[in-house]
């Protein structure tokens, strides 16, 4: 129990120290070049905060320029030049792909679809996470999606499937609404219905003189 309590705290402290050490390594050149120490009255923490603000402003300006046509062409040229350098190109392209996936507004991860499963005529909700690898596409002879089929009422459990794009039906439905459907087994399709569902459950428990604590205790006993 002591190890379980102390270990996460130690790891967190070490990680935070590493992050701050790495960040200071970036901020120190900015502080030295701009003379922020003297401007801040030789208060180191103020100089670091100023350098951090300068860094954020610089990154924001780069993002703004990258969204303009001229800036986009300039950054594309920079990508091609970096791609020529051996070893550096592998690291840069890998990190670039991850960062693009994280900030992409058209990520398929938030796409809700219908998949015919487990037999013809029956459909389940699924979440498209990405396009399937090239090896899968080559084996099938057509494009496919990586699809997660969540279970109901516990969507954190489910199965992963590789589904051809022709067998996927796109839905005009948000992820939050589909999760509500799964958790409530289709009883509540919107926030108002979900709140009414919760009130109905509470009323039924009150009438039967059963508390939520009793339900939780019974579930723990079954486990």
Task: Write the pLDDT tens digit of every residue in 4-37.
Answer: 778 888 888 888 888 888 888 888 888 887 887 7
With a cut of 50, say whether residue 222 has pLDDT above it: no
With a cut of 80, say whether residue 212 has pLDDT above it: no
How far apart, in whole angstroms, are the C-alpha atoms of residue 147 and residue 162?
Answer: 6
* pTM of the predicted structure, to 2 decimals: 0.42
Of the listed ranges 30-44, 141-155, 204-218, the least confidently predicted one is 204-218
**pLDDT 10s digits, 143-152:** 999 999 998 8
SS (HEC) of 181-220: HHHCCCCCCCHHHHHHHHHHHHHHHHHCCCCHHHHHHHHH
- Hey, CA dihedral for 2, 8, 11, 15, is it positive or negative? negative
Residues 6+ apart with CB under 8 A from 197: 184, 187, 188
Burial level of 117, CB count in 10 A (0-12/13-18/19+)?
middle
Compare 204 and 211 and report the one with higher pLDDT.
Answer: 204
Q: What is the pLDDT of residue 83?
A: 77
**pLDDT 10s digits, 84-112:** 888 777 777 777 776 665 555 444 455 88
Q: What is the pLDDT of residue 95?
A: 74
Q: What is the pLDDT of residue 186?
A: 78
**pLDDT 10s digits, 51-66:** 888 888 888 888 888 7
With a cut of 70, say whether residue 113 has pLDDT above it: yes
- Mean pLDDT of the region 163-176: 88
With a cut of 80, say whether residue 171 has pLDDT above it: yes
């Amino acid at each position: 129990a002591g190890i379980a309590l102390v270990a996460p705290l130690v790891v967190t402290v070490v990680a935070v120290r590493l992050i701050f050490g790495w960040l200071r390594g970036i901020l120190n050149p900015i502080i030295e070049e701009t003379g922020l120490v003297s401007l801040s009255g030789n208060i180191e923490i103020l100089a670091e905060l100023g350098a951090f603000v300068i860094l954020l402003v610089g990154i924001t300006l780069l993002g703004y320029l990258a969204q303009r046509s001229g800036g986009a062409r300039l950054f594309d040229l920079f990508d091609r030049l970096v791609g020529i350098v051996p070893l550096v190109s592998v690291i840069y392209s890998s990190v670039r792909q991850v960062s693009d996936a994280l900030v992409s507004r058209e990520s398929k991860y938030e796409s809700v679809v219908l998949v015919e499963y487990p037999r013809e005529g029956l459909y389940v909700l699924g979440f498209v996470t990405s396009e399937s690898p090239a090896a899968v596409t080559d084996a099938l002879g057509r494009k496919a999606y990586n699809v997660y089929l969540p279970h109901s009422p516990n969507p954190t459990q489910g199965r992963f499937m590789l589904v051809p794009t022709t067998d996927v039906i796109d839905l005009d439905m948000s992820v939050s609404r589909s999760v509500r459907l799964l958790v409530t087994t289709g009883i509540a399709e919107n926030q108002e219905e979900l709140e009414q569902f919760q009130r109905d459950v509470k009323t039924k428990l009150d009438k039967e003189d059963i508390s939520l604590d009793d339900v939780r205790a019974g579930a723990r006993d079954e486990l």
